């Protein structure tokens, strides 16, 4: 088999890494084509001001033993454990994230807490009927008032659409269940379960940054005889009689394969397929993506705040999240005496913000971070801008009906496999993309029939639950 992979992010690299084990056996050629100059996709790490940083916060976490085993196999011993602290910053106060009811109510003060409780009781007496939207789903669990304070502003900044137009899939995937009633009960009658909830949340982080996972995979793929071509974008996949048989590079060159794994944006892939029906193109054009602008600031202080990242819920600033790379591992900041912060701004391709000049973005980010009170005037030394196009597939209301015919069409093209975050239109974390890579490799090499589209929407197979600890993999709960 000759196999091509489009894109060297976690999904594409994991697929290639697994398939490369078969080079010289079932596989005769393996080529990865990456548009940019580096592997890792959205999970790459970059060198900046003598430090190493990720593209925003990148915490790897999974309970799935297969995913954890691959991660450990690739990372080896080059990781350490980080005690996670991530909070919401609202009206110059810090609140726990994921939200804990009592902490939220305490922080809001008596009057606001009473309003939240009343609003929650109203919700219990007259529950919100339509829970298919983000607003309905969250309100039904938290009450309107808490929803407005802790979810509405941030989500609307991130997605750029009203929470009534956002599908509840996004909430169900990302927000831990919380019941105010349970929280109050647990506070009054602390039991075993309550104690459990206060355990420190930890995660494993590679000593050379998240991107080193995929750099290690790149090395292994090359050692086994595969090719990882950088700065080599794929223009289109060519199909003949319902099968994918070749791809054309941006340089115009065409190469033939038996299987093509695509992690390029699904809408671009579909639009450029030669025999695709107009109705499918029309559906794929409805799939929308949100972009991120990352503004890195070098700040002349090392003790700004203790979180790895903060969610900024204040509607008076545009920034939505701030990562503090000083609080990950010392190995990534070395001897540097400054802190690198990364401020995230979200927009669509046609928003004026997307094309704003870097100096302007840096100046604005500098002003905003001072306005939040997290950094003092005069402490920002320099800035750097990175733009991430199409990095969030938008789960707008009804998106499943739009994406389904597109998925069916891709499935009908023999030899074509679409996986990944924008590749399969899934709001994936690394673990989901790694799993897609593992499963597509099995489908191709072993002929298994995993349904790749169900990963990260309907999949929750944690039979072999485990966590990565300092000494390796441990069964969960041991
Ligand atoms: C700000 C931010 C924070 C995040 N935080 C976390 C986190 O804390 N934890 C976590 O696990 N995940 C996090 N993620 C998600 C994580 O980055 C993604 O899930 C993961 O990188 C997706 O991998 P992928 O391979 O599916 O896609 P990508 O990483 O997007 O990789 C796709 C690759 O395809 C390449 N490509 C595109 N078009 C072409 C083409 N035509 N030809 C060739 N190559 C092409 C791209 O250049 C890219 O390298 C975060 C993402 C963002 C944006």
Residue-wise pLDDT tens digits, 139-171: 998 899 989 988 898 899 999 999 999 998 878
Token duo for residue 301? 């202080």
Token duo for residue 98? 């994921």
What percentage of the chain exceeds 90 in pLDDT?
Answer: 80
- More reliable by pLDDT, 466 or 46: 46
60 found inside a domain:
no
Nearest CA to ligand 1 atom 51: 42
Contact 113, 105 (CB under 8 A): yes
Q: Give me the pLDDT at residue 190, please.
A: 58
CB count, 10 Å around CB of 36?
15
Tell me the mean pLDDT in the region 257-265.
98
Q: Is 76 exposed, middle or buried (0-12, 13-18, 19+ CB in 10 A)?
A: exposed
Give the tens place of pLDDT for each residue, 85-136.
Answer: 999 998 888 998 877 778 888 888 889 989 999 999 999 999 999 999 999 9
What average pLDDT does the chain have?
92
Nearest one of 272, 192, 280, 180 to 233, comparing CA atoms: 272
Give the tens place of pLDDT for each residue, 263-303.
Answer: 999 999 999 999 899 999 999 999 999 999 999 999 999 99
| Shared-domain flag, residues 270 and 130 | no
List the helix and strand counts (H, then E) for the chain.
16, 21
List the end-to-end C-alpha distance of the chain, in Å, as a whole number. Answer: 43
C-alpha 22/C-alpha 259 separation (Å) is 14
450 band by pLDDT with thresholds 50, 70 and 90: very high
| Shared-domain flag, residues 295 and 383 | yes
Nearest one of 2, 4, 7, 1 to 265, comparing CA atoms: 7
Token duo for residue 261? 């794994």
How close is the Cα of 264 to the center of ligand 1, in Å? 10
C-alpha 167/C-alpha 396 separation (Å) is 5
193 found inside a domain:
no
Q: Give me the pLDDT at residue 456, please.
A: 79
Largest CA distance in the chain: 70
195 found inside a domain:
no
| Shared-domain flag, residues 302 and 386 | yes
Ligand 1 proximity of 39 Cβ (cutoff 6 Å):
no
pTM over 0.85: yes
Nearest CA to ligand 1 atom 37: 264
Domain enclosing residue 305, as ranges: 289-393
Give the tens place of pLDDT for each residue, 362-393.
Answer: 999 999 999 999 999 999 999 999 999 999 99
CA of residue 64 relative to chain centroid, distance: 17
Contact 238, 248 (CB under 8 A): yes
| Shared-domain flag, residues 295 and 164 | no
| Shared-domain flag, residues 124 and 144 | yes
Q: Which ligand 1 atom sits nearest the alpha carbon of residue 7? A: 34
58 found inside a domain:
no
| Shared-domain flag, residues 310 and 272 | no
Token duo for residue 122? 């109203």
Say which CATH number the domain at 334 has: 3.90.660.20
Ligand 1 proximity of 58 Cβ (cutoff 6 Å):
yes
CA of residue 291 relative to chain centroid, distance: 12
Tell me the mean pLDDT in the region 341-360.
97
250 found inside a domain:
yes
Nearest one of 351, 394, 318, 348 to 166, comparing CA atoms: 394
Ligand 1 proximity of 14 Cβ (cutoff 6 Å):
no
C-alpha 387/C-alpha 55 separation (Å) is 10
Q: Which ligand 1 atom sits nearest the alpha carbon of residue 421? A: 26
Q: Give me the pLDDT at residue 184, please.
A: 62
Q: Give me the pLDDT at residue 477, please.
A: 65
Q: Please give the tally of structural domains in the chain.
A: 3
Query: In this model, does residue 395 exceed pLDDT 80?
Result: yes
């Amino acid at each position: 088999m000759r196999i091509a992979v489009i894109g060297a992010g976690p999904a594409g690299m994991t697929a290639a890494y697994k398939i490369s084990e078969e080079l010289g056996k079932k596989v005769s050629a393996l080529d990865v084509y990456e548009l940019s100059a580096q592997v890792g996709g959205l999970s790459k790490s970059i060198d900046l001001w003598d430090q190493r940083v990720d593209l925003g916060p990148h915490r790897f976490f999974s309970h799935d033993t297969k995913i954890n085993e691959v991660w450990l196999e690739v990372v080896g011993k080059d990781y350490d454990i980080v005690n996670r602290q991530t909070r919401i910053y609202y009206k110059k106060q810090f609140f726990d994230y994921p939200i804990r009811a009592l902490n939220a109510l305490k922080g809001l003060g008596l009057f606001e807490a009473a309003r939240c409780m009343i609003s929650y009781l109203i919700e219990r007496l007259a529950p919100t009927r339509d829970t298919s939207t983000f607003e309905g789903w969250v309100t039904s669990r938290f009450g309107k008032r808490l929803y407005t304070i802790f979810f509405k502003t941030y989500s609307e900044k991130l997605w750029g659409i009203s929470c009534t137009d956002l599908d509840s899939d996004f909430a169900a995937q990302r927000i831990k269940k919380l019941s105010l009633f349970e929280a109050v009960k647990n506070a009054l009658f602390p039991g075993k379960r309550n104690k459990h909830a206060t355990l420190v949340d930890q995660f494993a982080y590679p000593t050379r940054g998240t991107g080193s996972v995929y750099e290690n995979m790149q090395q292994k793929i090359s050692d086994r005889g595969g090719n990882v071509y950088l700065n080599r974008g794929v223009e289109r996949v060519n199909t003949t009689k319902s099968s994918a048989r070749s791809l054309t590079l941006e340089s115009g060159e065409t190469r033939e394969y038996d299987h093509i794994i695509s992690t390029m944006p699904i809408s671009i892939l579909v639009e450029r397929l030669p025999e695709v029906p107009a109705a499918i193109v029309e559906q794929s054009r409805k799939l929308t993506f949100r972009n991120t602008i990352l503004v890195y600031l070098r700040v002349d202080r090392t003790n700004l705040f203790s979180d790895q990242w903060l969610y900024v819920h204040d509607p008076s600033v545009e920034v939505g999240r701030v990562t503090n790379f000083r609080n990950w591992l010392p190995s990534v900041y070395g001897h540097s005496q400054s802190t690198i912060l990364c401020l995230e701004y979200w927009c669509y391709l046609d928003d004026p913000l997307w094309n704003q000049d870097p100096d302007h973005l840096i100046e604005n980010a500098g002003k905003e971070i001072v306005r939040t009170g997290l950094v003092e005037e005069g402490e920002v030394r320099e800035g750097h801008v990175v733009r991430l196009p199409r990095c969030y597939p938008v789960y707008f209301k009804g998106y499943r009906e739009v994406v389904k015919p597109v998925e069916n069409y891709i499935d009908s093209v023999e030899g074509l496999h679409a996986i990944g975050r924008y590749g399969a239109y899934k709001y994936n974390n690394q673990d989901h993309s790694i799993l897609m890579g593992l499963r597509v490799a099995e489908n191709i090499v072993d002929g298994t029939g995993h349904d790749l589209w169900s990963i990260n929407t309907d999949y929750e197979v944690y039979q072999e639950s485990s966590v990565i600890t300092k000494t390796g993999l441990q069964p969960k709960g041991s």
